[in-house]
């Protein structure tokens, strides 16, 4: 037995050698790193399918479904995508374990879309030391666009800080003498966006007369709004995730308080925030967006939205199509497919980073009209444009041109 | 002064949530002599059932009653299937069982109904109550229902045979068995009742905090705290504890400068521990005499 | 055999009368396990070594809880707080104080010992469910304390703190041994684990250990016999917290990162489950319990992504149904079996 196996092995290696020798010139441009063959590209991913942030698990499921669709259509340049996604339960130690498993055991080409600021911070050093792309991280923390210190890490969604800055600009022009009350979630989202807001206000940062933070463990945040109203603020900036965003909008309505209300992007879904909060309470609320909202009827006839809806109907029939996380996963997966298309047969980790850093005017199906993805060797913030919108009737009215936040070069 | 009154009123409104949950906690404590960490998830699941029934077109009260029945039976089934076989296992193993139950219910609810928040209707509406914008008619209704539940529970444990038998079965199972109480079924009945009360709490809480699989996480911590402050053996204590925790938490957040807002929960919990150190059985609890 | 029957047939709050020699493992079994622990890393990938390091670290933390619950009978759902305190102590000393990682561990242990001892004082007045709630409160409060703006300069606030991973000592390289960071950290952790294990076994066999167990079995009787109940209960809290702190420090070094989100109540629950699965009051069970913490979520996830929580729950229920007393029951069972075979 032993002799036959070794014979076979020997034969096999001779064939491979011969192939490599002849193929050397014929496929000169074919360059692979670990995780790629002529028929397959291995991509890793880390998402909290369980634990406190399991609501985001749908992003991983949609991405998996999206790659299945791509594979059914023949893959990318003839290669199928093998998407390996693991659960980190939103715990940094677990994220490190899973990232190492992906890299050292599954031997993926790169890790795509790991979710959450803590988890990404935990694996960032490792990924960069190993020179493995940590591509399109699913968090808006501004630190994930630092191409100098971490050339293997790239963000995707607009940085939280840019949101703060854009709203500061708006407040300064519309209500220069306003008094701002801020309600923020006490985590990286809240702190980062608040910093952007303060930076944007510049020497007028004193417009902020009150800051109230809440913890996600609080059942309701009503009392914070009672307190903010009592300060006499006439601009309310609510930096909150869907459940708390809905509570805030509802409570502000119930209190009969009519401030200029700015809601951060993460909590602006029509289906999971505005409608539960009550349409009567939601009127006039301002927010920023870069993607379309599948629960917003105005996009029903939109070509990109139709593609998205067809995809969900066929590949993820059990998913809630109106969930903004589903749209997020779709856009992110489409961006990575674009990167792989651009990379062609040069599927080295270096080239993946290079292609990710040379996206030009790329517009996934789910982006708002006018919002485009642009990156360069000195700009690791793919989506930088946001559009202001106001809630009117049952939908968001986008107004004004796409605003560039220019955090990257 | 206005801020103070406002915060107290807002505290009463949130306190009603805690009080409601605390009642369910006391119920299960009376039946099995310890806390059920999966209780919040059970309540959440019941609330989703009610929501689903309403989505299918049933009117609120029909869905309400059906959910109560479902929860009652569900509670008994869980006890029979999961905890009766463990009756001889140590308490710590039971706690592990609660944690397993928690994980299962949370995960299944997430799969069935996903994690986007759902609006849950209130039978009381949500207009200002008596002209106060701080307490809505729903919150007033919730306080009212909590008080009714309190009276019913009090009467049940005090004056009915079953209630007395249940208390006996929980606190002294062996003596209870000797006087002819079927302790096994008392425990099952307690699970059923606790699940039913939990479902009422869930349906009352959901309009305020919105329905989603993780909605009870925070509520249960406060519910435990409220029940413990008031005394785990006293329904009245649980309700008073709920309001106290709600009000106290708001005042800490408002009046302790600097860290008050950020450390609302830790400070509230520290106070609870202080109460326990002074009165180890809670404000309204019966003292337990240990025997050698 | 008698021990097994005793354990299986009785169902008190914390199993009583675990003979003190049964809290540890026999010399042969210990040596076999030790040999496996030393040899395995030589044959596996770095990633597995990392997993094994985490496994040992959780085993230390579970062992600490076992001393508290198994030996002194006090129940805690707040071990994550001490773990976090130890992790942050190590991380801050290493990153802000430039102190060698080895030296940060005793400091982490000491600080946690003091914190645990102090927490044990009010906890003295609490028992059973009330103590569970108090510790639960501590675990919930800890991430918020870590986020606190006042300490942000040191703790990094919500963003956390990145820790540099230590290299193997230069001496090894000069001896011609190529030891990777992971492998070095593993053996370092193993050495610490062995020290802590030996310390714990001896502690429980000492006068203090016997006093703790006496309190566990019957507090009033112990007190009547002249055991200083307050002292030994708080001491158990302190020792348990101190050991947990060392585990936390090691965890921070292995993961290279500390953040409030890493030390939530979920960690406390995981440690608790580890203790139950390993067997309450049986120190070697900590290894089995820690294996449960590290590997069962991975198994659950590979069965179903959408329902990983449910699968985890079902596995847990199966375990407690089959062996309500955890790995200890299996070990005793095996011991009994071997004994029987020998006799035959």
pLDDT given at position B276? 77
Orientation of helix C46-66 relative to helix C79-97, angle to 10°: 130
Over the stretch A264-302, which tens digit does the pLDDT of each residue have? 999 898 888 999 999 999 999 999 999 998 888 888 889
Residue B104 lies in a domain: yes
Select the residue of B115, B219, B265 nearest A55 (Cβ to Cβ): B115
Nearest CA to B89 out of C336, C326, C275 is that of: C326
Determine the Cα–Cα distance for residues B113 and A58; give it in Å rounded to an integer.
12
Give the number of other Cβ atoms within 10 Å of residue A300's Cβ.
10
Residue pair C240/C68 in contact by the 8 Å Cβ criterion: yes
Residues of A in contact with B264 (CB under 8 A): 215, 218
Q: Which residue has the tokens 């003091």?
A: C114
Q: Look at the alpha carbons of A174, A178, A182, A183 in this order and tell me if their dihedral is positive or negative.
A: negative
Residues of A in contact with C257 (CB under 8 A): 92, 96, 118, 121-122, 125
Determine the Cα–Cα distance for residues A278 and A268; give it in Å rounded to an integer.
13
Residues of C in contact with A116 (CB under 8 A): 261
Radius of gyration of chain B, Cα coordinates, nearest whole angstrom: 19
A212 to A175, A181, A204, B263, C62: CA distances (angstroms): 21, 8, 19, 12, 38
Q: CB B114 to CB A323 under 8 A?
A: yes
Residue B45 lies in a domain: yes
Q: Which of A202-211, B44-53, C245-254 has the lowest mean pLDDT?
A: A202-211
pLDDT given at position B192? 93
Q: Which residue has the tokens 């071997």?
A: C338
Nearest CA to A210 out of A191, A222, A224, A195 is that of: A224
Select the residue of B118, B222, B250 nearest A276 (Cβ to Cβ): B118
Start-to-end Cα distance in chain C: 14
A57 in B contact zone (CB under 8 Å): yes
Select the residue of C273, C310, C320 nearest B104 (Cβ to Cβ): C310
Q: CB B114 to CB A218 under 8 A?
A: no
Q: Is the pLDDT of residue C69 over 50?
A: yes
Q: CB A186 to CB C256 under 8 A?
A: no
C274 in A contact zone (CB under 8 Å): no
Q: CB A122 to CB C144 under 8 A?
A: no
Residues of A in contact with B14 (CB under 8 A): 219-220, 222-223
Q: Which residue has the tokens 């326990």?
A: B276
C328 in B contact zone (CB under 8 Å): no
Which of residues 105 through 164 in chain C touch A, CB cutoff 8 A? 140, 144, 147, 157-160, 162
Residue B121 lies in a domain: yes
Q: Is the pLDDT of residue A226 over 90?
A: no
Structure tokens, C127: 């028992």
Q: Is the pLDDT of residue C6 over 60?
A: no
Beta strands of A48-172 (E only): which ranges? 80-87, 110-112, 134-135
Select the residue of A217, A220, A272 nearest B217 (Cβ to Cβ): A217
The chains in contact with chain B, meaning 3 or more Cβ pairs closer than 8 Å, are A, C
Structure tokens, A172: 């300064």
Domains of chain B: total: 1
When the pLDDT of each residue in chain C is averaged and rounded to a whole number, the result is 86
Nearest CA to B261 out of A227, A250, A231 is that of: A227
pLDDT given at position A406? 65
A324–chain B nearest CA distance, Å: 9
Buried b (16+ CB within 10 A) or exposed e, B108-138: bbbbebbbbbbbbbbebebeebeeebbbbbb
Half-sphere exposure of C123 (CA within 13 A, CB side): 32
Number of H helices, E strands in chain B: 11, 2
Q: Which residues contact residue B66 at a Cβ distance below 8 angstroms, ignoring those fewer than 6 apart? A: B49, B50, B53, B58
Q: How many CB pairs under 8 A join B and C?
A: 151
Residues of B in contact with A271 (CB under 8 A): 116
- Report, in this order, helix, strand and coil percent for chain B, each rounded to 5: 75, 5, 25
Interface-testing mutation among C278, C313, C328, with chain B (most B C-beta atoms within 10 A): C313
What phi and psi values does residue A278 have, to the nearest 5 degrees? Answer: 95, 120
A296–chain C nearest CA distance, Å: 27
Q: Which of A4-13, A50-59, A133-142 has the lowest mean pLDDT?
A: A4-13
Ramachandran area for residue A186 (φ above 0: left; ψ -120 to 50: alpha; else beta)? beta
Q: Is the pLDDT of residue C15 over 50?
A: no
pLDDT given at position B1? 67
Q: Is the pLDDT of residue C16 over 50?
A: no
pLDDT (average), residues C30-43: 89
Residues of B in contact with C147 (CB under 8 A): 262
Collapse the DSSP code of A141 into the 3-class scheme (helix H, G, I; strand E, B; otherwise coil) and give the result. coil
A208–chain C nearest CA distance, Å: 18
pLDDT given at position C23? 62
Determine the Cα–Cα distance for residues B84 and B69; give it in Å rounded to an integer.
21
pLDDT given at position C12? 39
DSSP state of C67: I
Q: Is the pLDDT of residue A17 over 70?
A: no
pLDDT (average), residues C146-150: 81
Residue B84 lies in a domain: yes
Q: Is the pLDDT of residue C24 over 90?
A: no
Q: Which residues pair with A115 in a beta bridge?
A: A138
Select the residue of B111, B224, B262 nearest C149 (Cβ to Cβ): B262
Over the stretch B68-118, which tens digit does the pLDDT of each residue have? 999 999 999 999 998 888 888 888 888 899 999 999 999 999 989 988 889
pLDDT given at position C180? 85
Which of residues 44 through 83 in chain C touch B, CB cutoff 8 A? 69, 75
pLDDT (average), residues C58-86: 92
Half-sphere exposure of A96 (CA within 13 A, CB side): 29
The chains in contact with chain C, meaning 3 or more Cβ pairs closer than 8 Å, are A, B
- In chain C the domains, ranked by start, together with CATH numbers, are 2-343 (1.10.3470)
Q: Is the pLDDT of residue C193 over 60?
A: yes
What phi and psi values does residue B281 have, to the nearest 5 degrees? Answer: -105, 20
Over the stretch B264-288, which tens digit does the pLDDT of each residue have? 778 777 877 787 778 777 777 766 6
Residue B162 lies in a domain: yes
Residue pair A287/A263 in contact by the 8 Å Cβ criterion: yes
Q: Which residues pair with A346 in a beta bridge?
A: A31
Q: Which of A135-144, A311-320, C188-197, C213-222 has the lowest mean pLDDT?
A: C213-222
Residues of A in contact with B130 (CB under 8 A): none
Residues of A in contact with B116 (CB under 8 A): 55, 242, 269, 271-272, 320, 322-323
Q: Is the pLDDT of residue A142 over 60?
A: yes
Determine the Cα–Cα distance for residues A286 and A260; give it in Å rounded to an integer.
8
Over the stretch C149-168, which tens digit does the pLDDT of each residue have? 778 888 888 888 898 888 88
Structure tokens, C195: 């020290």
Over the stretch B125-138, which tens digit does the pLDDT of each residue have? 877 777 777 788 88
Q: What is the pTM of this model?
A: 0.89
Q: Is the pLDDT of residue B27 over 60?
A: yes
Determine the Cα–Cα distance for residues A215 and B15; give it in Å rounded to an integer.
17
pLDDT given at position B258? 66
Select the residue of A103, A122, A188 nearest C257 (Cβ to Cβ): A122
Residue pair C237/C120 in contact by the 8 Å Cβ criterion: yes
Q: Which residue has the higher pLDDT, B261 or A162?
A: A162
Ramachandran area for residue A58 (φ above 0: left; ψ -120 to 50: alpha; else beta)? alpha
Residue B106 lies in a domain: yes
Looking only at the bridges linking them, the beta strands covering A110-112 and A235-239 are: unpaired
Nearest CA to C216 out of C136, C277, C127 is that of: C127
Q: Which residue has the higher pLDDT, B44 or B123?
A: B44
Q: Is the pLDDT of residue C18 over 70?
A: no
DSSP state of A151: T
pLDDT (average), residues B255-264: 74
Give the number of other Cβ atoms within 10 Å of residue C226's Cβ.
7
pLDDT (average), residues C103-119: 95
Structure-derived torsion over alpha carbons of residues A122, A123, A129, A130, reported in degrees to the nearest 10: 160
Determine the Cα–Cα distance for residues A246 and A221; give it in Å rounded to an integer.
10
Residue B232 lies in a domain: no
Structure-derived torsion over alpha carbons of residues A103, A104, A105, A107, reported in degrees to the nearest 10: 50
Determine the Cα–Cα distance for residues B241 and B18; give it in Å rounded to an integer.
8
Determine the Cα–Cα distance for residues A50 and C303; give it in Å rounded to an integer.
13
Residue B53 lies in a domain: yes
Collapse the DSSP code of A4 into the 3-class scheme (helix H, G, I; strand E, B; otherwise coil) and give the result. helix
Q: CB B34 to CB C129 under 8 A?
A: yes
Residues of B in contact with A254 (CB under 8 A): 126, 128, 133, 136
Q: Which residue has the tokens 């609510």?
A: A238
Nearest CA to C249 out of C48, C49, C41, C61 is that of: C61
Percent of chain A past pLDDT 90, that is, above it, reads 61
Which helix H or strand E contains A211, and what residues bound it? strand A208-214
Determine the Cα–Cα distance for residues A297 and A135; give it in Å rounded to an integer.
32
A218–chain B nearest CA distance, Å: 5
Residue pair C147/C260 in contact by the 8 Å Cβ criterion: yes
Residue pair C298/A105 in contact by the 8 Å Cβ criterion: no
Over the stretch C223-279, which tens digit does the pLDDT of each residue have? 888 888 888 999 999 999 999 999 999 999 999 999 998 898 889 999 999 999 998
pLDDT given at position A16? 47
pLDDT (average), residues A321-329: 90
Residues of C in contact with B110 (CB under 8 A): 306, 309
Over the stretch A184-197, which tens digit does the pLDDT of each residue have? 998 889 999 999 99
Residues of C in contact with A118 (CB under 8 A): 160, 257, 259-262
Q: CB B107 to CB C310 under 8 A?
A: yes
Determine the Cα–Cα distance for residues B93 and B82; give it in Å rounded to an integer.
12
Q: CB A93 to CB C255 under 8 A?
A: yes
Q: Which residues contact residue C123 at a Cβ distance below 8 angstroms, ignoring those fewer than 6 apart? A: C74, C131, C134, C135, C233, C234, C237
What phi and psi values does residue A346 have, to the nearest 5 degrees? Answer: -95, 80
Structure tokens, A101: 């498993």
Residue pair B166/B185 in contact by the 8 Å Cβ criterion: no
Interface-testing mutation among A226, A277, A324, with chain B (most B C-beta atoms within 10 A): A226
Q: Is the pLDDT of residue C3 over 60?
A: no
Structure-derived torsion over alpha carbons of residues A239, A242, A245, A249, reported in degrees to the nearest 10: 150
Nearest CA to C129 out of A86, A235, B271, B225 is that of: B225
Task: Name the residue range of residue B145's domain.
Answer: 15-217
Q: Which residue has the tokens 């869905």?
A: B63
A260–chain B nearest CA distance, Å: 19
Q: Which residue has the tokens 């005394």?
A: B231
- Burial of B64: CB neighbours in 10 Å, binned 0-12, 13-18, 19+: middle
Q: Which residue has the higher pLDDT, B162 or C21?
A: B162
Orientation of helix A117-130 relative to helix A92-100, angle to 10°: 30
Percent of chain C past pLDDT 70, that is, above it, reads 93
When the pLDDT of each residue in chain A is averaged and rounded to a whole number, the result is 88
When the pLDDT of each residue in chain B is averaged and rounded to a whole number, the result is 86
Looking only at the bridges linking them, the beta strands covering A31-32 and A346-347 are: parallel
Q: Which residues pair with A210 in a beta bridge?
A: A181
Q: Which residue has the higher pLDDT, B32 or B152?
A: B152
- In chain A the domains, ranked by start, together with CATH numbers, are 33-158+298-384 (3.40.50.2300), 160-289 (3.40.50.2300)
Determine the Cα–Cα distance for residues A57 and A49; give it in Å rounded to an integer.
4
Q: Which residues contact residue A96 at a Cβ distance below 8 angstroms, ignoring those fewer than 6 apart? A: A122, A123, A126, C50, C255, C256, C257
């Amino acid at each position: 037995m032993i002799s036959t196996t070794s014979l076979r092995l020997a034969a096999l290696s001779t064939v491979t050698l011969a192939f490599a020798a002849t193929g050397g010139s014929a496929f000169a441009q074919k360059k692979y790193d670990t995780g790629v063959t002529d028929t397959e590209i291995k991509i890793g991913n880390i998402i909290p399918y369980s634990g406190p942030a399991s609501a985001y698990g749908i992003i991983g499921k949609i991405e998996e479904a999206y790659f299945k669709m791509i594979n059914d259509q023949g893959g990318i340049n003839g290669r199928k995508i093998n998407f390996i996604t693991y659960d980190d339960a939103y715990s940094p130690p677990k994220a490190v374990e899973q990232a190492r498993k992906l890299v050292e055991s599954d031997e993926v080409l790169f890790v795509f879309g790991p979710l959450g600021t803590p988890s990404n911070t935990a694996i960032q050093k490792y990924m960069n030391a190993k020179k493995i792309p940590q591509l399109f991280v699913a968090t808006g923390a501004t630190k994930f666009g630092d191409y100098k210190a971490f050339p293997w890490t790239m963000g995707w969604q607009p940085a939280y800080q840019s949101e703060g800055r854009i709203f500061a600009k708006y407040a300064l022009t519309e209500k220069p003498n306003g008094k701002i009350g801020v309600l923020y979630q006490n985590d990286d989202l809240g702190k980062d966006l608040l910093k952007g807001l303060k930076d944007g206000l510049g020497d007028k940062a004193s417009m902020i007369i009150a800051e109230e933070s809440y913890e996600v463990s609080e059942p309701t945040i009503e009392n914070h709004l009672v307190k903010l109203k009592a300060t006499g603020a006439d601009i309310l900036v609510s930096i909150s995730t869907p459940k708390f965003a809905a509570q805030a909008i509802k409570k502000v309505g119930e209190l009969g308080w009519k401030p200029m209300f700015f809601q951060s992007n993460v909590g602006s879904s029509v289906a999971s925030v505005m409608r539960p909060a009550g349409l009567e309470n939601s009127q006039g609320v301002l927010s920023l967006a870069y993607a379309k909202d599948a629960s917003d009827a105005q996009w029903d006839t939109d070509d990109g939205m139709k593609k998205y809806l067809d995809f969900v109907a066929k590949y993820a029939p059990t998913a809630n199509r109106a969930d903004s996380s589903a749209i997020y996963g779709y856009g992110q997966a489409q961006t990575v497919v674009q990167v792989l298309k651009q990379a062609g047969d040069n599927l080295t980790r270096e080239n993946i980073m290079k292609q990710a850093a040379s996206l030009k005017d790329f517009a996934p199906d789910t982006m708002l009209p006018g919002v485009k993805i642009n990156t360069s060797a000195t700009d690791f913030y793919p989506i930088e444009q946001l559009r202001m919108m106001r809630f009117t009737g049952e939908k968001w009215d986008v107004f004004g041109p796409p605003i560039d936040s220019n955090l990257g070069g | 002064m206005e801020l103070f009154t406002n915060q107290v009123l807002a505290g009463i409104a949130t306190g009603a949530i805690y009080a409601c949950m605390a009642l369910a906690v006391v119920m299960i404590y009376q039946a099995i002599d310890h806390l059920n960490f999966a209780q919040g998830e059970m309540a959440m699941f019941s609330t989703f059932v009610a929501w689903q029934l309403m989505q299918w077109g049933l009117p609120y009260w029909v869905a309400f009653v059906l959910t109560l029945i479902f929860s009652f039976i569900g509670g008994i089934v869980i006890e029979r299937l999961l905890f009766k076989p463990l009756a001889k296992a140590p308490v710590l193993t039971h706690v592990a069982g609660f944690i397993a139950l928690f994980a299962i219910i949370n995960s299944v609810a997430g799969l069935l109904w996903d994690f986007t928040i759902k609006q849950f209707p209130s039978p009381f509406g949500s207009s200002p109550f008596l002209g106060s914008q701080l307490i809505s008619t729903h919150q007033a209704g919730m306080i009212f229902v909590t008080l009714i539940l309190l009276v019913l529970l009090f009467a049940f444990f005090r004056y009915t045979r079953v209630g007395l038998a249940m208390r006996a079965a929980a606190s002294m199972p062996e003596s209870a068995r000797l006087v002819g109480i079927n302790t096994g079924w008392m425990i099952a009945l307690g699970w059923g009742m606790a699940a039913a009360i939990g479902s009422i709490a869930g349906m009352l809480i959901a309009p305020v905090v919105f329905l989603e699989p993780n909605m009870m996480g925070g509520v249960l911590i406060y519910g435990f705290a409220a029940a413990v402050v008031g005394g785990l053996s006293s329904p009245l204590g649980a309700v008073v504890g709920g309001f106290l925790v709600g009000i106290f938490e708001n005042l800490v957040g408002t009046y302790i400068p600097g860290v008050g807002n950020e450390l609302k929960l830790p400070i509230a919990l520290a106070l609870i521990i202080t109460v326990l150190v002074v009165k180890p059985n809670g404000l309204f609890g019966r003292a337990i005499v240990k025997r050698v | 055999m008698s021990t097994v029957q005793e354990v299986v047939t009785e169902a008190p709050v914390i199993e009583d009368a675990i003979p003190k020699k049964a809290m540890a493992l026999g010399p042969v079994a210990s040596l076999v396990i030790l040999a496996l622990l030393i040899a395995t890393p030589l044959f596996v990938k770095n990633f597995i070594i990392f997993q094994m390091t985490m496994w040992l670290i959780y085993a230390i933390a579970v062992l600490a809880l076992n001393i508290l619950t198994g030996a002194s009978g006090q129940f805690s759902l707040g071990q994550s707080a001490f773990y976090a305190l130890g992790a942050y102590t190590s991380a801050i000393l290493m990153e802000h104080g430039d102190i060698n990682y080895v030296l940060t561990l005793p400091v982490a242990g000491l600080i946690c010992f003091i914190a645990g001892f102090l927490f044990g004082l009010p906890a003295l007045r609490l028992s059973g469910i009330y103590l569970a709630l108090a510790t639960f409160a501590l675990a919930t409060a800890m991430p918020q304390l870590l986020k606190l703006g006042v300490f942000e300069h040191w703790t990094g606030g919500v963003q956390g703190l990145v820790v540099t991973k230590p290299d193997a000592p230069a001496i090894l390289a000069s001896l011609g041994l190529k030891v990777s960071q992971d492998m070095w950290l593993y053996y370092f952790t193993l050495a610490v684990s062995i020290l802590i294990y030996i310390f714990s076994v001896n502690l429980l066999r000492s006068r203090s250990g016997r006093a703790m167990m006496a309190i566990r079995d019957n507090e009033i009787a112990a007190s009547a016999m002249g055991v200083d109940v307050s002292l030994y209960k708080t001491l158990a809290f302190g020792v348990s917290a101190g050991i947990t702190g060392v585990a936390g420090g090691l965890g921070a070094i292995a993961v290279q990162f500390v953040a409030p989100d890493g030390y939530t109540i979920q960690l406390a629950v995981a440690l608790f489950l580890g203790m139950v699965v390993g067997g309450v009051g049986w120190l070697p069970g900590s290894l089995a319990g820690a294996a449960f913490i590290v590997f069962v979520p991975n198994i659950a996830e590979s069965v179903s992504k959408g329902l990983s929580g449910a699968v985890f729950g079902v596995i847990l229920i199966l375990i407690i149904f089959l062996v309500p007393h955890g790995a200890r029951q299996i070990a005793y069972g095996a011991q009994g079996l071997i004994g029987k075979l020998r006799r035959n």
